[in-house]
Structure 1
Amino acid sequence: MKRTLTRGLMNLLPMALSLWLFWSLFESLDGLGNVLLELVAIHPAFIGEGFLLVVALIFAAGLLFSVSPFTWLWGKIERALMRFPLFKSVYGSIRDIASLMNRDGKPKSQQVVLVRQANGGYVVGFIMTDAPPKPLQDALPEGDWVPVLFQLSYQMAGVTSLVRREDLLPVNWSFEEAMRFNLTAGISTH
């Protein structure tokens, strides 16, 4: 009986939590859109009208960011707000995570690699970019160094280490599958 309950829980819980998360996001965005509609004295006629408004506003913002004067103005506002240390930390982190999700035309060069450890074991890592920033290149000894991300299990955090390219063993494995392997400490197989 315990095994049957566990099997049911392990199969239903991920789906239930995913659906709940997406429904909560939908309701939140719909509520925000409804507030905006009511500000201009329009009462929502159907469920999802506020959500559609928010999606349309995000699309319009995307169009605005393709226009140089608006991008210039946004950059100016961003730089002004970056003078506040707490805002700079929070905003910078969120912007960096968002940019990881949208590479917008940049090549996705994440390569899965194995890095040999001193004890003879290997650690799964990810080459996220082909070269370290110039200040690090200048400080490092001669060699072809690359930043390698070592993702920590069950966390969004990871450790970036600079490793010589010749010490890396490339792996023919998709980034998503290898990341899932690392994030779940090898428990997830699909």
Structure 2
Amino acid sequence: MKKTLLRGLLNVLPLVLSIWLFWSLFESLDKVGNFLFGLFHITELFKGAGFLLILTLLFIAGLLFSVSPIAWLYDFIIRQLMRFPFFKTVYSSINDIASLMSSDNKNKGQQTVLVHQANDSYVIGFIMSDDMPEPLANALPEGDWVPVLFPLSYQIAGVTTLVKREDLTLVDWSFEEAMRYNLTAGISTPKGKSDKNTKEETDILSDS
């Protein structure tokens, strides 16, 4: 009975938490949108009207940022605000996270690799970018160096190590699946592996 309850919890909990998270986000944005409606003395039209307003405003903002003068003005304002240390710290952190989540940055230099260790073991890492900052390039010995990220299990943080490209083994494995495998310390099985194992078990049972 204990195993059955645990199995039910492990299957239902991720779904419930995901729905709760997205619903909370929907409620928060809907309240902000309704607040904007209230500024123009417009009562709540229907549930979700504020959320649709926020999405519309974000879409319009995306169109405006494609116009050079608007983008230049925004960058100018950000550069002025970056003079304040506290704002710079907060903005830079949020901007870095947003950049990681942006689809524009996906598959640009991100490569799953194996790094050979001294005891003949391997560590899974990720080449996040092929661009090496000039200060590091000048400080390192001759060679083709690349930054490799080693994420820590169950954590967003990781260790960035500079490794020679010749010491890396490229792996034909998608960034998303490899990252999920690394962050969960191998608990999260990559897609397709379970099906393969199930098929092998079925073949063994058939042979017996």
How does the TM-score come out when normalised to structure 1? Answer: 0.96
Structure 1 consecutive aligned stretches of length 4 or more whose deviation exceeds 3 Å: none
Residue 54 of structure 1 is matched in structure 2 by: 54
Determine the C-alpha separation between the residues in 1 that align with 2:159 and 2:81: 28
1:23 lines up with 2:23 in the alignment: yes
C-alpha displacement of 1:108: 2.5
The 5 Å alignment of 1:113-132 reads: 113-132=113-132
Q: Name stretches of at least 5 consecutive residues in structure 2 with no aligned partner.
A: 191-208
Aligned Cα root-mean-square deviation (Å): 1.3
Residue 7 of structure 1 is matched in structure 2 by: 7
Q: Which residue identity lines up with residue 172 of structure 2 in the other structure? A: N
Residue 101 of structure 1 is matched in structure 2 by: 101
Once the two structures are superposed, what CA deviation does each residue of 1:80-122 show, in whole Å capped at 9, x if it has no partner? 1111111111100111111112253775321100111222211
Residue 66 of structure 1 is matched in structure 2 by: 66
**Alpha-carbon distance change, 105 to 146 in structure 1, aligned in 2, over 3 angstroms:** closer
Q: Which residue identity lines up with residue 27 of structure 1 in the other structure? A: E
Q: Name stretches of at least 5 consecutive residues in structure 1 with no aligned partner.
A: none
Q: Any conservation in 2 of the 1:110–1:129 contact (CA below 8 Å)?
A: yes
Residue 157 of structure 1 is matched in structure 2 by: 157
**Alpha-carbon distance change, 105 to 178 in structure 1, aligned in 2, over 3 angstroms:** closer
The 5 Å alignment of 1:140-179 reads: 140-179=140-179
Determine the C-alpha separation between the residues in 2 that align with 1:87 and 1:47: 35
Residue 188 of structure 1 is matched in structure 2 by: 188
Secondary structure in structure 1 of the residue aligned to 2:188: coil
Count of residue correspondences: 190
How does the TM-score come out when normalised to structure 2? Answer: 0.88
